[in-house]
Amino acid sequence: MTARGAAFLRTTAFRQTLLSAALFALSSFVTLGFVYAASAGMVLRRADTAINEEVVALDASFQAGGIRTVNRYILERTVGGGADYLYLLVHPTGRSLSGNLTYLPEVQPDDEGRVQFTYRRPAAGDNDGEDGKDDRTARGRIIELPSGYRLYVGLDVDEETRLVSRMLNTILAASALALALGVATGIFVSRRFARRLDRINTVARRVKAGDLQPRAPRNFTGDELDELSENFNNMLDRVEALMHRMRHTGDSIAHDLRTPLTRMRNRLDEALREEAAPGSREQALERAVADTDELLGIFNAILSLSRLEAGESRASIQRLDPADIAADLAELYEPVCEDEGLAFNSEIQGGLSMLGDRGLLSQALANILDNAVKYTPTGEAVTLRLRETGDGRIEFSVTDTGPGIPEADRDRVTQRFVRLDNSRTQPGSGLGLSLVQAIVDVHNGEFALAEGPGVVSGGHGPGLRASLCFPKAAAES
Partner 1 sequence: MRILIVEDDREAASYIRKGLRESGHVADHAGDGEEGLEMARAAEYDVLVVDRMMPRMDGLSMVAALRSDDDRTPVLILSALGEVDDRVEGLKAGGDDYLVKPYAFAELLARVEALARRRDPDTVRTKLVVGDLEMDLLARTVVREGEDILLQPREFRLLEFLMKHSGQVVTRTMLLEKVWDYHFDPQTNVIDVHISRLRSKIDKPFPRSLLHTVRGAGYRLQA
The reply to whether 325 sits near partner 1 by the rule CB under 8 A is no
Amino acid at site 252: S
Site mask, partner 1, residues 393-432, x = CB under 8 A? ----------------------------------xx---x
Pick from 21, 178, 194, 360: which binds partner 1 (CB under 8 A)? Answer: 360
CB of residue 307 vs partner 1: minimum separation in angstroms? 6
Q: Show contacts of 408-411: CB within 8 Å, 24+ apart.
A: 410/449, 410/450
Q: Is 472 in contact with 388 (CB distance < 8 Å)?
A: yes
Contact string 154-183 vs partner 1 (x = CB under 8 A): ------------------------------
Q: Is the CA virtual torsion 238, 241, 247, 249 positive or negative? A: negative
Q: How many helices (H) and strands (E) does the chain have?
A: 9, 12
Which is nearer to partner 1, 362 or 399 (by Cβ)? 362
Exactly one of 30, 181, 246, 296 binds partner 1 (CB under 8 A); that residue is: 296
How many CB atoms are closer than 10 A to CB 252? 19
Among 250, 335, 341, 379, binds partner 1 (CB under 8 A): 335
Residue 94 binds partner 1 (CB under 8 A)? no
| Given 370, 388, 441, 451, the residue binding partner 1 (CB under 8 A) | 370
Closer residue to partner 1 in complex, CB, 63/316: 316
The verdict on 328 binding partner 1 (CB under 8 A) reads: yes
Q: Which is nearer to partner 1, 321 or 370 (CB)?
A: 370
At residue 342's C-alpha, the angle toward residues 340 and 347, to 5°, is: 130
User: Residue 372's closest CA among 285, 465, 260, 263?
Assistant: 465
Q: Which of 30, 242, 303, 343 binds partner 1 (CB under 8 A)?
A: 303
Q: For partner 1, which residue of 97, 172, 174, 336 counts as binding (CB under 8 A)?
A: 336
Selected binder of partner 1 within 167, 366, 420, 473 (CB under 8 A): 366
Q: List binders of partner 1 among 2-31 (CB under 8 A).
A: none
Phi, psi of 399 (to 5 degrees): -115, 135
Query: Which residues have C-beta within 8 Å of that of residue 380, sequence separation ≥ 6?
Result: 342, 343, 400, 401, 402, 454, 459, 460, 463
Closer CB to partner 1, 184 or 303, in the complex: 303
Q: Which is nearer to partner 1, 219 or 426 (CB)?
A: 426
Please give the Cα distance from 455 to 400 (Å, whole number). Answer: 11
What amino acid occupies position 75? Answer: L
Told to check if 241 binds partner 1 by CB under 8 A, we report no
Out of 137, 362, 376, 397, the residue judged to bind partner 1 by CB under 8 A:
362
User: Any contact of residue 359 with partner 1 (CB under 8 A)?
Assistant: yes
- Decide: 119 and 135 in contact? Cβ < 8 Å: yes
Q: Which residues pair with 232 in a beta bridge?
A: none
By the rule CB under 8 A, 339 interacts with partner 1 = yes
The answer to whether residue 332 forms part of the interface with partner 1 (CB under 8 A) is: yes
Shortest distance in whole angstroms from residue 189 CB to partner 1: 58
> Could you say which of 149, 333, 375, 396 contacts partner 1 (CB under 8 A)?
333
What kind and span of H or E run contains 445? Answer: none
Q: Which amino acid is at 394?
A: I
DSSP state for residue 135 in the 8-state scheme? E
The rounded distance, in Å, linking the Cα atoms of 372 and 342 is: 10
Taking the C-alpha atoms of residue 205 and residue 219, their distance in angstroms, rounded to an integer, is 21
Please report whether residue 346 would count as binding partner 1 according to CB under 8 A. Answer: no
8 A C-beta contact, residue 263 and residue 291: yes
Give the dihedral of Cα atoms 15, 17, 23, 26; nearest 10 deg: -100
Binds partner 1 by CB under 8 A, chosen from 161, 367, 397, 437? 367
Q: Contact positions toward partner 1, by CB under 8 A?
A: 286, 289-290, 293, 296-297, 300, 303-304, 307, 313-316, 328, 331-333, 335-336, 339, 357, 359-360, 362-363, 366-367, 369-370, 373-374, 427-428, 432
